[in-house]
Amino acid sequence: MQRRPLPNARIKGSVMLETVIALPVVLVLGLSVAQWAFIHEARAVVDHATLMAARAGAMNNAQMSAMRNAFARAIAPLHLAESSAAGFETAFLRRALPDSRINLDLRILNPTREAFDDHAQRDRKGREYLPYRRLDAASTRPGRRSGLNIQDATLLRVQARYGYELKVPYAGWFIIQAVRAATRWSSAYSARERLMLANGRLPIVTSATVRMQSRAYAGGQYPRRADLPRIREKRRATR
């Protein structure tokens, strides 16, 4: 028996139904691929910015202000609208600098306060500092409180938590919701990182280590040994 051809209306209706079902899936997948490509690019930029912040701290007595400015300057390409020197400075001053003040959590992980207790010296004004010269001739014996020798105590290790804004429509919201659902009952993210997720920003965590090229003066920006988190992300070291 020969089958009768389907009416054109039924064929068109079938195609329309398949399109309605498949289009959202294809759209979300395609936009998600684009968004993950942007995230990968942002990760590289933030990784470089963290290294620049650590280098600025190494040259400026581990001052947080110098490190924050260096980080903001390094992430300016994420906000760049015009490829010129004037456009770069505009992106740095109007976008990157305010962005880093709001969405960046920058911390020093090393040296610790215990390292100052073990190895600090005093200058003429009575300020405690860690020396950075002629460390090859210094003792390699670990300090009793810090567990570090002077060579390791003068390595500046910086951690950056940056909330990256997901700008691709639909995909950004979908990724944020997926991450929030996957980490709802775990301790993978801190309270600050969960706040970033709530504001539609994906936390990017990187760290960098450089050797001090100036005196690190004692202050409240250094952590206690007991407060140090476990660092699981990729570390970049320059000595």
Answer whether residue 1 is part of any domain. no
Answer whether residue 2 is part of any domain. no
pLDDT tens across 8-38, in order? Answer: 555 545 555 555 565 566 677 777 888 889 9
Answer whether residue 83 is part of any domain. yes
> What confidence category does residue 239 fall into, taking pLDDT thresholds of 50, 70 and 90?
very low
Q: Give the global pTM.
A: 0.82
Q: Answer yes or no: is pLDDT of 218 > 90.
A: yes
Answer whether residue 53 is part of any domain. yes
Can you name the residues that pair with 129 across neighbouring β-strands? Answer: 121, 217
Contact 189, 207 (CB under 8 A): no
In angstroms, what CA-CA distances link 172 with 10, 30, 104, 164? 37, 12, 19, 11
**pLDDT on residue 113:** 94
For the chain, report the end-to-end CA distance as a whole number of angstroms: 83
Q: How many domains does the chain have?
A: 1
Q: Which domain holds residue 201?
A: 8-238
Answer whether residue 3 is part of any domain. no
Instruction: State the Cα–Cα distance between residues 36 and 50, nearest whole angstrom.
Output: 21
**pLDDT on residue 232:** 42
Answer whether residue 185 is part of any domain. yes
Q: Which residue has the tokens 């490829």?
A: 83
Q: Answer yes or no: is pLDDT of 168 > 80.
A: yes
pLDDT tens across 133-153, in order? Answer: 988 888 899 999 999 999 999
Per DSSP, which regions of the chain are E strands? Answer: 104-110, 121-122, 128-130, 155-165, 201-211, 216-217, 235-238
How many of the other CB atoms lie within 10 Å of CB of 176?
Answer: 18
pLDDT tens across 63-105, in order? Answer: 999 999 999 999 999 998 888 889 899 999 999 999 999 999 9
Answer whether residue 16 is part of any domain. yes
Counting residues of the chain whose pLDDT is more than 70, the rounded percentage is: 84
Instruction: State the Cα–Cα distance between residues 11 and 4, nearest whole angstrom.
Output: 13
Of the two residues 178 and 130, the one the predictor is more confident about is 130
Answer whether residue 58 is part of any domain. yes
CA angle, residues 187, 190, 194, in degrees to nearest 5: 105
Residues 6+ apart with CB under 8 A from 117: 143, 145, 146
